[in-house]
Structure 1
């Protein structure tokens, strides 16, 4: 993912989150329709993540996600979630020897391209968010969230020269996203999420589906 595309996605997601936050504020003041139940909630489900490593390529990873949150007000809440990879994402690596201080083909220079198949593994991804919610009906609501996330990502590349490169490690950065939820019952809902992660050495897009249980107060 190019810097321009990444910046565009981050700015678009931030604008969407800001618009939803503004809308939720207006909703809290003027909206007399359906409201969200306040209180704690737990959820779990599946996430599909698309990672773009600065020193690698795009890799798609499947993960399971657990989330805990508290709806402090019908329009505002806080939540945290943790995702753990359940498979490795494959990508085609295309880098430079100089990036790794490696003479892969042993020709006494470091100007050649290193290319080869790679695997990306997600050990964990943990995020903390503030969330603005706007109920659209008794059963359906949309929301936006913004926060900060931490991840442990490891990439392994087998080069043409027979070397194995390992890079990645701990990363962190801002995260913004949006979601839509439908109440199956008074306490059970199904929620779909999109989140953009702007890490230091990689970016990621996440698409998730979760089953949520609301305890309510």
Structure 2
């Protein structure tokens, strides 16, 4: 249920970019994330394309939806058998608090909820599992001209049976008012 709610919210936020464009600050971003997953003594490093949409109610508070689509998996050894591991997708919704440090730069902290779909396979057999949990992180944004910028962030995802540390870098485009 929560997975459907988060995914629906992320998609609705992305689809409504035009309607938000003249109100406040609406942002869209795309980038690359590296995801380190730890579960049951196994460490897996995968990569994902990150798509993000957000809305700032004020200069200090907002929300954002995020969709991570796996692009590069990892292989781990289990009982002398190679197991391919991929993150198919992860959808997240966050509340965001920002601390402006200049007209074009800010630091932020965020807290929210994530749902992810992970796949593990060996030759002839595959297993897909869903994981949900809370996520929190920090980062910074710098806007070159008030509208176009770069974002660097770290987010910790505490999922059902696994933890994930995600580092990302993204291009950010701001619509609406420039703060």
TM-score category of the 2 structures, normalised to the smaller one: 0.7 to 0.9
Q: How far did residue 157 of structure 1 move?
A: 4.3
CA deviations on 1:83-142 (whole Å, 9 max, x unpaired) are: 01111112233xxxxxxxxxxxxxxxxxxxx34322111110000000000011122210
Runs of 4+ in structure 1 displaced over 2 angstroms? 114-117, 164-168
Aligned to 1:43: 29
Matching of residues 24-39 of structure 1 within 5 Å: 38-39=24-25
Q: Which has the larger radius of gyration?
A: 1
Secondary structure of the structure 1 residue equivalent to 2:103:
coil
**TM-score, normalised to structure 2's length?**
0.80
Q: CA deviation at 1:167?
A: 4.0
The yes-or-no answer on 1:169 pairing with 2:142 is no
User: How many angstroms apart in 1 are the aligned matches of 2:69 and 2:126?
Assistant: 20
Query: Do residues 62 (structure 1) and 47 (structure 2) align?
Result: yes
- Whether the 8 Å contact between 1:38 and 1:74 is mirrored in structure 2 is no
> Structure 1 length as normaliser, TM-score?
0.67
Where does the alignment leave 5 or more consecutive residues of structure 2 unmatched? Answer: 1-22
**How far apart are residue 216 of structure 1 and its match?**
2.2
Q: How far is 1:156 from its partner?
A: 2.2
Matches within 5 A, 1:4-19: none
Match of 1:139 among 104, 107, 110: 104
CA contact (8 A) 1:131 1:144 kept: yes
RMSD: 1.8
Name 2:85's counterpart in structure 1.
Answer: 120
What is the CA-CA distance between 1:165 and the residue it aligns to?
Answer: 6.0
Q: 1:86 aligns with which of 53, 59, 71?
A: 71
Partner of 1:86, secondary structure, is strand
Question: Which has a greater percent of helix?
Answer: 1
* Structure 1 unpaired stretches of 5+: 1-36, 94-113, 159-163
